[in-house]
Structure 1
Amino acid sequence: MSARAARLLAWSLFGLFVVLAAATPVLVAIRNGHASDSLVALGIGFAFVGALVASRQPANAVGWLLLTAAVALGLDTCTTVYASRSSSPGAQWAGWLNSWLLFVWLYVPALFLVLVFPAGRLLSRRWRTVVWLGMGAVTADIVGTAFAPGVLEIPADQPIRNPLGIAGPVGDALSWLSGAGELLAAGTLVLGGLSVFLRLRRAHGRERQQVTWFAYICIMALVPFVVLALVSLVVGDDVAPWLNVVQVIAWWSLVALLLIGLPAAIGIAILRHRLYDIDIVINRTLVYATLTLTLGTAYLGSVLLLQLALDPLTQGSDLAVAMSTLAVAALFRPARRRIQLLVDRRFFRRKYDAARTLQAFGSRLRDQLDVDALGNDLSDVVRETVQPTHVTLWLRGSR
């Protein structure tokens, strides 16, 4: 494919996604569908970054995978809204298409992106086996879901039966095939995560920074996913209100990280825009996450202790809350400074050692009078902190 044809195809797919994203809220208003289906608009990140990467690097499969995910997401939400009223013309076929599109836009990018990111190539030829297993999982799930008998699992005013469902022993076998495909897909996703880990260990220089951006967002998305899984285990009939709040925050954090953060990280990594800022991003994430957890724990603990101590005197006033707020505000700066020092010492040792070296050089600079010794010290500091290939010191002579 020529570069011009690749650009035309990439931006045409982006335009198709925009049309689908614009049509979804219109269908929601006309058919009184689900307002959450307008979530397709958040997929604009996948579509735009995919079109940008595919038009500039047509040989890189990452851009085409992002466009595939975006268009499949748009079709999935449009067919969901259209099939929500079962009396609509073609609602059965819209529901049938929707029944297996979810697996396409969710699983295909999730597996193949981690296998080929960032250059669009596999880690080695042996990973082709994982690709074939992933394609087998996609085929098994799509065939099993598309031709299984019974009612389609879509939110409709009346149950919609599968128009291509095959009854009898064949239908039972197809249901089993769909389950096998999902199980195989889960196994290949684990292998895909292993591929990212191995690529990160083997990569150097620019590629390592690219993979770090991708791995950072994946790990960040894993946190709300684990929270949702833990909350789902304890949710029952009598649910605490704070658990509902935690569930909502975790869900929207996961959505934002996957639909906005992931394409942004992919665009930064592949297009190499502010690529080397990933160390700063990780550093700030560790510092402020630890700071938030520390100050939150200190605030809750102080509120409880002060309420127990002051309750006989204040009789239920908000003095404990006010004192705890002031105490946490006073702790912010020293706590942040201390946590920053601990994070630098533990995870960013080179930066920590460089800062200590510069501090020691500043102390010697105040007491050093010998120009030659000062020049040697300056060269040593530059070599230790900046690590250049060559150091030359030029001093202007006295007039």
Structure 2
Amino acid sequence: LLLTFPTVGALVASRRPENPIGWIFCVTGLVFGVGFLTESYAQYALHASSAPLFGVQYAAWLSSWTGPVLLLAAAFLFLLFPDGQLPSRRWRLVAWMAAIGSSLTALGVAFEPGPLEANRSIANPIGIGGTLGGVVEVLGVVGAVVLNVGVLLSGISLILRLRRARGVERQQLKWFVYSAAMMGGGFAASILFSSSLVNSIAWTLGILGFMVLPVATGIAILRYRLYDIDRIINRTLVYGPLTAMLALVYFGGVVGLQAVLHGLTGQESTLAVVASTLAIAALFSPLRRRVQGFVDRRFYRRKYDAAKTLEAFNARLREETDLQALSDDLVRVARSTVQPEHASLWLRPDTASKAEQAD
């Protein structure tokens, strides 16, 4: 995680130095590294070290700064992706909101008296007391509100950009949205489900999405295998629900059959596992076809309609004997599936037949 952002950032910055997103990722990686090192040092000093260590309070104080800086980086990433430009001039206000909010929040974190936000067991070593300290605390709260509103509006700008985007830009945005959805969905599911297994899987998915985010962003900006995202999204929409359904069938079958067999025989049996495994093997192909058909109908309607059109044409082709009708039908199918600007059919004359007729 610490290496993903700076590595992708350095690659993007070297290939597209005019795009600020590469530099944003480099700064993000630096902030992650500093925050991780200082927080780890503070935790080690508090819980593992037998002797006092130098600068523990200042290390914990420095680690508290990561939050405002990372939120500012997220806001500018939303605003500037994928071309490094704001969607329009009116979004400058949102950029200024995020920058000012981050600065005020950092000011509050730096000088607010009392325990540090990142580590409540350590007091702020340079906290300001009295009236001035109260003012700093209020400014920090106001800054946090402004910063979060700025991040929210920045996310809305990305959604609006996606709705208007066409062609290459839309493919670039799909890469970002895919990784962001993986990250957000994983973290949200880890909060909603308290089951240890589901929580662990969801949290791992969220971390994986967070690591994939800079990679997907780099692919989008550098346009490497840009159009593979459609196939990746399709496979995710198919195999995600398919895996969930098969897992439900498997665990439900194991638990249910184990209970039945235990009631009949009074002992555990591997028959439940074997039967559930066979059921999974039998259900995989038909379930995959049904899920694939639903996904194509719901999300890839043009592809689904084109496939149905070709199937119907293939059925008519077996019975059609009129060459002119077949030619007209072929042109109609090409127009409805490929949707070219112009479609026509040219048949090469049968020179052999003409030569025989001449003889």
Q: After TM superposition, is the score higher than 0.5? A: yes
- For residue 58 of structure 2, the aligned residue among 73, 83, 93 is 93
1:115 corresponds to which of 74, 79, 89: 79
Q: What does residue 103 of structure 1 align with? A: 68
1:252–1:307 CA distance, 2 compared to 1 (3 A): closer
Q: Any conservation in 2 of the 1:145–1:178 contact (CA below 8 Å)?
A: yes
| TM-superposed deviation, 1:330 | 0.7
Q: 1:152 to 1:64 in 2, by over 3 A?
A: same
**Could you tell me which of 325, 335, 338 is aligned with 1:383?**
335
Q: How many residues align?
A: 344
Q: 1:153: how far off? A: 5.2
- 2:172 alignment counterpart: 210
CA apart distance, 1:367: 2.5
Residues 116-136 of structure 1 show CA distances to partners (whole Å, capped at 9, x for unaligned) of 111111222222221111112
2:326 corresponds to: 374
CA deviations on 1:67-91 (whole Å, 9 max, x unpaired) are 1111111122222334443744444
Contact 2:60 2:119 in 1 (8 A): no
The residue identity in structure 2 corresponding to 1:108 is L
Matches of 1:266 and 1:390, distance apart in 2: 37
State yes or no: 1:176 paired with 2:135. no
Structure 2 contact 5–25 (Cα < 8 Å) conserved: yes
1:341 to partner: Cα distance = 0.7
Residue 16 of structure 2 corresponds to: 57
Q: Is the 8 A contact 2:246 2:284 kept in 1?
A: yes
- How has the CA–CA distance of structure 1 residues 95 and 313 changed in structure 2, closer, same or farther, with 3 Å as cutoff? closer
2:250 equivalent among 258, 279, 299? 299
SS at match of 1:367: coil
Is the counterpart of residue 253 in structure 1 residue 205 in structure 2? yes
User: Aligned equivalents of 2:331 and 2:7: distance in 1?
Assistant: 47
One-letter amino acid of the counterpart of residue 191, structure 2: A
CA shift at 1:160, angstroms? 4.7
Can you give the 5+ residue segments of structure 1 that lack an aligned partner in the other structure?
Answer: 1-41, 235-242
Q: Report the aligned-residue RMSD.
A: 2.3
Task: Name the CA distance, whole Å, in 1 between partners of 2:192 and 2:8.
Answer: 33
- The aligned counterpart of 2:49 is none
Task: Give yes or no for the alignment of 1:125 onto 2:89.
Answer: yes
Provide the residue aligned with 2:2 in structure 1: 43
1:341 has 2:304 as partner: no
How far apart are 1:223 and its partner, in Å? Answer: 1.2
**How do residues 1-399 of structure 1 correspond to structure 2 at under 5 angstroms?**
42-83=1-42, 84-85=44-45, 87-104=52-69, 106-152=70-116, 160-231=122-193, 243-259=195-211, 261-316=212-267, 317-398=269-350, 399=352
- Within 2, Cα distance between the matches of 1:284 and 1:187? 35
In structure 1, the residue matched to 2:357 is none
Whole-Å Cα distance in 1 between the matches of residues 313 and 9 of structure 2?
A: 48
C-alpha spacing 1:393/1:78, structure 2 compared with 1 (3 Å): same
- Residue 227 of structure 2 aligns to a residue in which SS? helix
Larger Rg: 2
Asked if the contact 1:69–1:108 (Cα under 8 Å) also holds between the matched residues in 2, the reply is no
Q: Distance in 2 between matches of 1:46 and 1:397?
A: 62
Aligned-partner Cα distance in 2 for 1:255–1:353? 37
**Contact residue 118 and residue 211 of structure 1 kept, 8 A:** yes
Cα offsets for 1:234-260 (capped at 9, x unmatched): 6xxxxxxxx23333322222112112x
SS in 2 for 1:275: coil
- Distance (whole Å) between structure 2 residues aligned to residue 90 and residue 312 of structure 1: 64
1:196–1:215 contact (8 Å) kept in structure 2: no
**Aligned residue type for 1:109:** A
CA change 1:249–1:112 in 2 (3 A) is same
| Fraction of identical pairs, as percent | 49
Structure 2: gaps spanning 5 or more residues: 47-51, 353-359
Cα distance in 1 for residues equivalent to 2:78 and 2:343 = 41
Shift of 1:206: 1.2
1:184 is paired with a residue of what secondary structure?
A: helix
C-alpha displacement at 1:166, in angstroms? Answer: 0.9
2:327 and 2:221 map into 1 onto residues whose CA distance is: 41
Distance 2:259 2:204 in 1: 36
SS for the counterpart of 2:224 is: coil
Give the deviation of 1:138 after TM superposition: 0.5
CA distance in 2, matches of 1:230, 1:327: 30
Paired residue for 1:26?
none
**Which letter does structure 2 place at the counterpart of 1:306?**
L
Q: Residue type of the partner of 1:163?
A: P
For 1:315, give the aligned amino acid: G
1:230 is matched by which residue type in structure 2?
L
After TM superposition, give the deviation of residue 309 of structure 1 in Å: 4.0
1:4 is matched with none
Q: Distance in 1 between matches of 2:305 and 2:40?
A: 58
